């Protein structure tokens, strides 16, 4: 982390600005923490935070608030690929136009156009295939297209993902079929009936009290955990032939009924999952079976 100070203008400035500039090597998680600290400083000590091109975030506030924010960020970002720049402002900085910034670009589009919907195939009594709900998650491709070149890069994509996920949760309506909706732990709130939040693996460090599902973890993490103590009502696992190396005892301890096997491309992958006791699937093979179900005469 490289601290830089811009020279002050003449006279005591009523406000100052702290700029957080992430470098290309800064992990998205560190970027998210730094942004949250700036937003917290603005909320609790009076100020505002706004995004700028190139991944920069600007906090405008009184000098005491900036000093505290800078000291906190310096401790968090020590040794990481980021720079903190302070500026003294001779007059209050102008507000950013409401139609600028990544949030405004994403708000201007219908949330449905920014989401990916994956139909979940289930199997009922007697092994009969049936619809088993949906997984809905922010579409990284649609978000990247909406943000364009001005906001490209992983930190902005991660920020856009979080913005779209919150919008989807706010607009989620009760559905007849289960809805598995991807969210960040920070965005958890009272959910609609039949809505199950799908959280990233980092949520396992502090599982929420409410029912939830988990996106992952991957094979390397699965090999190191005690499957019997892995929390979550559902586990969305990406299909990987390497999963077949895990013994049957592992899946029995995990609880195969909890697994939603994602990305099932063919019949062989589906049959392997069924042999382990999995009952829910997404992917091309699941889509083909669901399409055939819809074409059956009622």
Domains recognised in the chain with CATH numbers: 2-89 (3.30.70.930), 105-295 (3.20.20)
Q: What is the pLDDT of residues 104-156, one digit of tens each?
A: 899 999 999 999 999 999 998 888 899 999 999 999 999 999 999 888 877 78
The predicted structure's pLDDT at residue 26: 84
Q: Is the link from the previous residue into 201 a cis peptide, with omega within 30 of 0?
A: no
Residue 80, pLDDT > 90, answer no
Q: State which of 147-156, 185-194, 211-220, 260-269 shows the largest mean pLDDT.
A: 260-269
**Which residue, among 53, 48, 52, has the nearest Cα to 15 in the 3D structure?**
48
Range of lowest pLDDT (58-67, 126-135, 196-205, 256-265): 58-67
Contact between residue 84 and residue 8 where contact means Cβ atoms under 8 Å apart: no
Question: How are the residues of the chain apportioned to helix, strand and coil, as percentages rounded to the nearest 5?
Answer: 45, 25, 30
Instruction: Indicate the DSSP class of residue 243.
Output: G
Residue 189, pLDDT > 80, answer no
pTM for this entry: 0.72
Q: What is the pLDDT of residues 211-254, one digit of tens each?
A: 999 998 888 889 888 999 999 999 999 999 999 999 999 999 99
Distances (CA, A) of 233 to 87, 94, 229, 236, 286: 49, 48, 12, 10, 21
The predicted structure's pLDDT at residue 152: 81
Contact between residue 105 and residue 146 where contact means Cβ atoms under 8 Å apart: yes
Name 86's bridge partners.
5, 18
């Amino acid at each position: 982390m490289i601290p830089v100070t811009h020279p002050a203008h003449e006279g005591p400035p009523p406000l100052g600005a702290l700029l957080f500039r992430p470098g290309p090597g800064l992990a998205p998680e560190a970027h998210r923490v730094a942004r949250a600290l700036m937003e917290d400083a603005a909320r609790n000590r009076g100020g505002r935070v706004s995004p700028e091109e190139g991944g920069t975030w600007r906090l405008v506030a009184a000098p005491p608030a900036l000093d505290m924010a800078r000291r906190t960020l310096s401790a968090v970002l020590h040794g990481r690929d980021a720079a903190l720049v302070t500026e003294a402002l001779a007059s209050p900085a102008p507000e950013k136009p409401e139609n600028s910034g990544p949030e405004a670009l994403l708000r201007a589009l219908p949330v449905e156009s920014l989401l990916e919907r994956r139909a979940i195939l289930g199997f009922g009594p007697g092994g009969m295939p049936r619809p088993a709900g949906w997984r809905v998650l922010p579409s990284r491709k649609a978000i990247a297209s909406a943000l364009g070149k001005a906001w490209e890069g992983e930190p902005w994509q991660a920020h856009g993902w979080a913005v779209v996920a919150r919008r989807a949760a706010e607009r989620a309506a009760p559905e007849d079929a289960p809805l598995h909706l991807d969210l960040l732990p920070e965005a958890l709130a009272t959910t609609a009936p039949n809505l199950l939040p799908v959280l990233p693996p980092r949520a396992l460090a502090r599982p929420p009290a409410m029912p939830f599902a988990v996106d992952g973890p991957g094979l390397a993490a699965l090999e190191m955990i005690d499957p019997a103590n892995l929390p979550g009502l559902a586990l969305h696992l990406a299909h990987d032939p390497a999963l077949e190396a895990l013994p049957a005892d592992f899946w029995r301890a995990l609880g195969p009924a909890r697994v939603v096997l994602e990305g099932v491309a063919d019949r062989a992958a589906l049959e392997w999952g069924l042999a382990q006791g999995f009952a829910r699937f997404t992917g091309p093979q699941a889509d083909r079976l669901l399409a055939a179900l819809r074409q059956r005469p009622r």
